[in-house]
Amino acid sequence: MVSVEGIDARKWDQIQPVYQEFLEREIDSAEALEQWLLELGQFDAFVGETGSMLYVEMTCDTENEEIKQAYLDFVEQVQPELAKVGDLLNRKLADSPHADALDSVEYNVLLRDTRMDLALFREENIALGTELTKLGQRYNEICGAMTVDFDGEERTMQQMGKYLQVNDREVRESAYRAVGERRFQDSEEIDELFDKMVGLRHQIALNAGYENFRDYTFDAKHRFDYSPEDCESFQTAIEQICVPLMRDIDEERRAVLGLDALRMWDMGHDVKGRSPLQPFAEVEEMVAGTSRMFHRLSPELGEFFDSLRDGTSLDLDSRKGKAPGGYQLQRDHSRKPFIFMNATGLQRDLETMVHEAGHAFHSIYADHLPLVDYRSAPIEFCEVAAMSMELLTHDFLDEFYSPEDANRAVREHLEGIVSILAWIATIDAFQHWIYTNPGHTKEERHQQWIELGERFGSILDWSEFEEWRKVGWQRQLHLFSYPFYYIEYGIAQLGALQLWLQYQIIFVDVRDG
């Protein structure tokens, strides 16, 4: 087994000799090839975790120039070399006369994916990928710097969310306007940044012999089981089933509130005038309550969650300079998950916490697997683990709420599933259009977004805010850093609902006699 002691994986000249040894090693049997794969995977895990933690540090503090430069140095100096040597290693595996002698059950997926990666690889795309990563970092930097002065304090975009849940309509409108004005200040730069991304991605596809980036990405993501046409059918199904239900829910809301029309600041507060749901005030309260929920759901999951409370695996609060969004990242070398989010005391923060914990549990259950490539399932199924936790913890929300408020939280979540499916269809359809029409103008992109809003959106009255509506897509991180990563949420949501149904049948019905 290769030793990593004393190796600084941030420096290519320190890891290159190790990779060279893997390239030059003689492999004279299927057993030797299997051992080579296992050792290579362990070293890849060490190098990959180094790069991942540089990314984590950058997203936790986008304003720190030293941290940003360390991340960019890795992106510019190490990742391109890793891409080159990765292709050579893939070729060594695929060309080995012993590859087909490997256990077909164990290695079929790995070999299939490797051969697809080989077919897609073009050295000229490495520099384009580096530039895309840097543009994604710039997007995070722009969003991380967004704050507004409101209610006597400087607040992040995430911290403003609570003001859209108060019962005072004037406060909600003021909060909406403050956030919208701040986002719109950077909309031109973000549009220009996205134009560059679209152009680079289209060129990557052309270099690899594809007509467009959408078709290239389906192969790059190893989507062997469904096609762009299947995604379009899914979009249509959501349009026909979920969108009418969402609009009925919204119309009921409008009628109960006695409004002539719903505005954007009318969607987050309680229609009965009850105080906003506030599951916690401090992040540690959220962590402690989440631990209790998981212990009640499953002692094993509770122990898994508690293992993350070690001071190095959680960064959960919202603050200026922190990148938007939330994610779980598996550190394959240390075999320890890391969770990042922007909690501000809202119910959606609690949902994010259990969602990312679901990813972490998936990682922990898989961390014993010897093949590093198999420690992460396809994203479509990874999201099932995460979304299932959102549903399976419903019965334990009394750790945060009274019975009445727990029921409110459950209802809001279930209604939210309907609207999130509509949003998923919107984002997915938008990306299909973007990348099959790569020469589009900014104005055409804005118009397409408006048309998709008419197709999949709510019954909101956007008068006076038409310009803000055109750039509403800019707040979706995935469009910038993870293109075509969104339909997975829709597929996984169906799987999570099925698991929840089975849970109701097997556990809840039995428990209740």
SS (H, E, C) 390-448: HHHCHHHHHHCCCHHHHHHHHHHHHHHHHHHHHHHHHHHHHHHHHHHCCCCCHHHHHHH
User: What is the rounded distance in angstroms from the CA atom of residue 455 to the CA atom of residue 475?
Assistant: 19
- Rounded to the nearest 10 degrees, the angle between the axes of helix 213-220 and helix 104-120 is 150
Q: What is the tens place of the pLDDT at every residue in 222-235? A: 999 999 999 999 99
Query: How high is the pLDDT of residue 2?
Result: 79
What percent of the chain stands above pLDDT 90? 96
Averaged pLDDT score across all residues of the chain: 96
Q: Cα 79 to chain center, whole Å?
A: 21
Query: How high is the pLDDT of residue 512?
Result: 60
Nearest partner of 328 among 365, 303, 297, 363, judged by Cα:
363
**153-156/147-150 β-pairing:** antiparallel
What would the CATH number be for the domain defined by 283-400+497-511? 3.40.390
The sheet with strand 336-343 has its strands ordered as 314-317, 336-343, 327-331
HSE (side-chain half, CA atoms, 13 Å) at 111: 18
User: What is the rounded distance in angstroms from the CA atom of residue 157 to the CA atom of residue 342?
Assistant: 10
Look-up of token digits 């094993």 = 300
The CATH T-level fold of domain 133-276+406-482 is: Neurolysin; domain 3 (1.10.1370)
Is the pLDDT score of 1 beyond 90? no
Q: What is the tens place of the pLDDT at every residue in 63-120? A: 999 999 999 999 999 999 999 999 999 999 999 999 999 999 999 999 999 999 999 9
Query: How high is the pLDDT of residue 143?
Result: 94
Contact 41, 371 (CB under 8 A): yes
Which 3 state secondary structure label does DSSP give 509?
helix
Which 3 state secondary structure label does DSSP give 314?
strand
* Least trusted range by pLDDT, from 164-168, 200-204, 321-325: 321-325
Query: How high is the pLDDT of residue 189?
Result: 98
Q: Which amino acid makes up residue 511? A: R
Query: pLDDT category, 332, cuts 50, 70, 90?
Result: very high
Q: What is the tens place of the pLDDT at every residue in 25-60? A: 999 999 999 999 999 999 999 999 999 999 999 999
* Least trusted range by pLDDT, from 108-112, 411-415, 473-477, 505-509: 505-509
Is the pLDDT score of 214 beyond 90? yes
Domain ranges for the chain, please list them. 12-121, 133-276+406-482, 283-400+497-511
Which 3 state secondary structure label does DSSP give 340?
strand
Is the pLDDT score of 479 beyond 60? yes
Query: pLDDT category, 377, cuts 50, 70, 90?
Result: confident
Nearest partner of 249 among 416, 361, 85, judged by Cα:
416
Is the pLDDT score of 511 beyond 70? no
Is the pLDDT score of 508 beyond 80? no
User: What is the rounded distance in angstroms from the CA atom of residue 246 to the CA atom of residue 264?
Assistant: 15
Nearest partner of 203 among 127, 128, 126, 116, judged by Cα:
128
Which 3 state secondary structure label does DSSP give 339?
strand
Q: What is the tens place of the pLDDT at every residue in 125-157? A: 999 999 999 999 999 999 999 999 999 999 999
Backbone angles phi, psi at 461, to 5 degrees: -95, 110
